[in-house]
Amino acid sequence: MTKLIIRLGINAVALYAAIYLLTGRGITPQFTNWWEIIWLALIFGLINALIRPVLTILSCPIIILTLGLGSLLINTLMFYLAGLVGTYFGVGFTVDGFVPAFLGGLIVSIVSFVLSLLFASELKGRPRKNWD
């Protein structure tokens, strides 16, 4: 349960960072409260858990041919879909084109990677070492 909460928090921070940095540059947020970003992070996590593996398997030859750069297109699509589905539930954002979606997916990936490194011991279930 702790891993789920940490992962949800990482997704929420990553999505908020991407939306905050790109607001006015092709992304228009449609949420006003902090709990709405939590709902959006939950939607993003479900989309990544359900749709991303299928897309990764189907686009495996493209990912191999582009030496992994094809996964950036999958990140772009996941970011765009999170905004689209979130808008359907009233907590999303609108994306005005490919470049803002690409940058949003890139920002979400980088922030998620850095935060996952910071919380690696908690995500693996091992207690953090106390150096005192």
pLDDT tens figures, 74-122: 999 999 999 999 999 989 899 999 999 999 999 999 999 999 999 988 8
Domain total in the chain:
1
Does a structural domain hold residue 131?
no
Q: Is 53 a member of any domain? A: yes
Whether pLDDT at 125 is above 80: no
Give domain status of residue 42, yes or no. yes
Asked if the structure places residue 9 within a domain, the reply is: yes
| 3 has pLDDT over 70 | yes
In a domain, 111, yes or no: yes
Q: Is residue 130 part of a domain?
A: no
Residue span of the structural domain in which 95 resides = 2-124
Is 28 a member of any domain?
yes
Residues 6+ apart with CB under 8 A from 110: none
Which pairs with CB-CB distance under 8 Å and at least 24 residues apart come from 80-83?
80/104, 80/105, 81/47, 81/51, 82/15, 82/40, 82/43, 82/44, 82/47, 83/27
10 Cβ neighbours under 8 A, 6+ residues apart: 111, 112, 115, 116, 119
**Mean pLDDT value across residues 42-46:** 96
| 129 domain residue, yes or no | no
Residue 132 pLDDT class (50, 70, 90 cuts): low
